[in-house]
Structures are given as C-alpha cells and as structure tokens.
Amino acid sequence: MASSPRTAPPSGALNRRLADSGLRSTPQRELIYDVLLRKRDHPTADEVFVRVKTEMPTISLATVYNGLETLVQCDLVRAVNFERGPTRYCPNLRPHAHFHDERSGATHDIDLPPALIEHVKAILPPEYRAEAVEISFRGSTSR
C-alpha cells in the first residue's frame, strides 16, 4: 500500500482496534472509516470509493476494498448483505436490524433491544451457540 505524506491525528477507536488486530492505521484506512462515519447510509464499496476519491484522488478501488475488509475484520464496521445487492457497510456497532426499503433502495438501522436478541437466541437448540444474530427486513416505508 502506498504511503501518504499526510499525517492525520490519530483517531482513537480506529487506532486501538487496528492495533488489537495487529494492524496499523494508515491515512487510507482512516479516511475510509471517516467517510463511513460521516454519512451513515450503508454505502457500497463503489460508493465509498467515490466519496474517498474526492479527498484522496490517488486512492484505488482495490485499496478501498482492502480497507473496508480490514475495518470489518477488526469489528469496526459491519458488512451488510441483502439477497441480490452488493455488500454494504455500516459503522453502527449497536445491536440493530436493517430495514431495506425496496422502493428507495435506502437501508435503515432499527435498534434491537437486548431482551429481544436473547429471546431470538432462545429459539435455538441448546447445543447451538450463536455469536451473532442478523435480522433484516425488506419492504417499504410510507415516508
């Protein structure tokens, strides 16, 4: 990965998470994470690329893909998949479901109460251990 002369101030959460995973922070990774935090509309990798490119014109799509993958691996970002669409990226780390509006294409976060998650996990046979519960809705909103 090409290094940039830009020295961004260390962003706490990102640096810590990357270090915990044995990775280092790079200006590219910081910018990708920053772009995700700024507009939380579950962009695809291509959309992240367009946004990042306005601030770092030399960045490649491959670097954006790799950066997103790294952020997913160290649990700072969730990869969200719907049946037919491309992977989308979400920096919201609270337990939440996704509501995919099929008319507008928008994806909304829906907070999940912890009790509900426990309730959902309780339907599993006792020998099954769920590390994650992913709930997604598809439909439309009247707004």
Q: Which residues bind Zn ion (CB under 5 A)?
A: 90, 92, 109
* Residue with Cβ nearer Zn ion (114 or 125): 114
Residue type (1 letter), 129 = R
Smallest distance, Zn ion to C-beta of residue 90, A: 3
* Residue with Cβ nearer Zn ion (101 or 109): 109
Q: What is the DSSP letter of 11?
A: P
Nearest residue to Zn ion, using CB? 90
* Residue with Cβ nearer Zn ion (9 or 105): 105
* Residue with Cβ nearer Zn ion (34 or 109): 109
Of the candidates 13, 15, 58, 17, which has an alpha carbon nearest to the alpha carbon of residue 37?
Answer: 13
| Total length of the chain | 143
Smallest distance, Zn ion to C-beta of residue 80, A: 6
Residue type (1 letter), 50 = V
Residue type (1 letter), 56 = M
Q: In the structure encoding, which two tokens stand for residue 1, read together?
A: 């990965």
Smallest distance, Zn ion to C-beta of residue 91, A: 8
Beta strands in the chain (DSSP E): 78-80, 88-90, 96-101, 107-111, 136-139
Q: In the structure encoding, which two tokens stand for residue 99, read together?
A: 């509501």
Smallest distance, Zn ion to C-beta of residue 72, A: 13
